[in-house]
Amino acid sequence: MADFYTIIFWIVLSITLIILGTARFKMHPALVLFTVALFTAVGLGFQVTQSVEIVALGFGNMLSNIGILILLGCVLAVILEELQSIKYLSTLFIKIFGLNRPFLLLSSLGGLIGIPVFCDVAYIILSDFSKTLASQAKVSRVSTSVTIASSLYIAHNLIPPTPGPLAVMGNFGVADQLGLIFLLGIGISIFLILILSLYARFVSRNTLSSDTETAQFNHPANALPTVIILPLIIPIILIAISSILGIVKSDNIILNSIEVIGNPIIALAIGVLIGLILLKKQSEDPKSELIKKAILQAGPILVITGLGGSYGQVIKESAFSDLLIENINFQTQGPFMILIIAYLMAFFIKTAQGSSTSAMIIVSAIVAPLIPGSSLDTVMGTSLLVLAIGSGAMMVSHSNDSYFWVVKEFSGMSVKQALKTFSISTMLLSVTSMLLVMLLFLLL
């Protein structure tokens, strides 16, 4: 077995190779993670056959925890797009908030839609709505674009069942705490939405809209204008209720049944089933192409997430945690120090290589072996550690992040504008989120 400093060397080298491979040489993250995981295992002294077994074990363990959730999330996103549920929900939010509060409207909308729908897909769908709202509310298009992009980003990083938080939970072995993490993520997101609304108002005052035409809203042509949002709303409600019931234990059979139905896999499956029924009422066309599209979207995410689990398994098998405890006595560190270390690691890797999900996977793989016996080795402690890593992985979205370019292209912003507004927004939200995580640790 390798000694402590040899393991440290290989971990640092592996992270460096991941960053160089993805950010510098633009290689596919899946190829980079697989190669680096195998290379690191061999470097740590495992036989080649052992290394392959470790990589395969980590891949399987990760996907056994969250693979179905990711797949169902992709299917639900495709169904919502086909039903035009997001467009309808946008018009509904106008009725609720009015045009006098465009930033609160957009940030709330993005925070809700970003839970089941991937942020890049949701942003593309909402980009026209963002432009039209800017015209109707007489605010700059830059400000509305930043608002919707950032609010989707909040949900993407903090609220399971999005892939990043799910992957962290998989590495930590706390999939059963999804309900609590979901509620904590929602709570933090509400505060971030308020901060984002204030920031967007500042951006609007300091940027000018280039749009001269007045755009009008078009209600989505749909025979079922109200029920088309049920596939989105029902899973969220079920998961939220189940999360609360999981905290407030009860022997009531009905409440226990509701808690079971609120299991994220069952809740998302119910949402998918409702969506398929609504699609069948709209059209008799076969839905196999929609499912195929969803599977194609889920494929890369599943592979990258699984290989992140492979990398994490290599770290676990190296006895890194035991050696680190012997040399640094990690258990004696205060909880704030551990949270801050995890946060800063996520920030560094995210900023260096661009992918929030990859950053969360890598950091959680390194931190996971250190949790047992530490001051965060509690249900609340590990839940907040998940959110600390998610907070760090928000910062900074810039030119090496694919989502940055989606926001830039579909908003009409220049690169300079996107860096000065959206990138700054991710920094503000990241720091604020981390402060809220630390505050929650003090209070709970």
Question: Does pLDDT of 159 surpass 60?
Answer: yes
pLDDT of 284 reads 59
Tokens of 249: 């234990």
Indicate the DSSP class of residue 199. H
| Cβ 106 vs Cβ 149: under 8 Å | no
Torsion-angle region of residue 241: left (phi > 0), alpha (psi -120 to 50) or beta? alpha
| Cβ 326 vs Cβ 94: under 8 Å | no
Query: pLDDT: is 308 or 350 the higher one?
Result: 350
Q: How much is the mean pLDDT over the chain?
A: 85
Tokens of 404: 């940055």
Question: Does pLDDT of 336 surpass 90?
Answer: no
Q: Which residues contact 111 (CB under 8 A, 6 or more apart)?
A: 151, 152, 154, 155, 189, 190, 193
Question: Does pLDDT of 33 surpass 90?
Answer: no
Q: Which residues contact 254 (CB under 8 A, 6 or more apart)?
A: none
Mean pLDDT of 302-312: 84
Distance CA 101, CA 21 (A): 43
Distance CA 299, CA 292 (A): 11
| Cβ 434 vs Cβ 328: under 8 Å | no
The alpha carbon dihedral of 78, 80, 83, 85 has a sign of: negative
Mean pLDDT of 380-392: 96
Mean pLDDT of 333-339: 82
pLDDT of 409 reads 86
Indicate the DSSP class of residue 334. -
Distance CA 394, CA 425 (A): 10
Mean pLDDT of 234-249: 80
The residue to which tokens 């035409």 are assigned: 213
Distance CA 290, CA 292 (A): 5
Query: pLDDT: is 377 or 332 the higher one?
Result: 377
Q: Which residues contact 273 (CB under 8 A, 6 or more apart)?
A: none
* 3-state secondary structure at position 343: helix
Question: Does pLDDT of 66 surpass 80?
Answer: no
| Cβ 22 vs Cβ 353: under 8 Å | yes
Q: Which residues contact 265 (CB under 8 A, 6 or more apart)?
A: 68, 69, 72
Distance CA 270, CA 151 (A): 26
Distance CA 68, CA 117 (A): 15
Query: pLDDT: is 432 or 304 the higher one?
Result: 432
At residue 1 the predicted structure's pLDDT band, cuts being 50, 70 and 90, is low
Residue 256 lies in domain: 4-443
pLDDT of 221 reads 46
Domains contained in the chain, number:
1
User: Any idea which of 35-39, 237-241, 286-290, 383-387 has the lowest mean pLDDT?
Assistant: 286-290
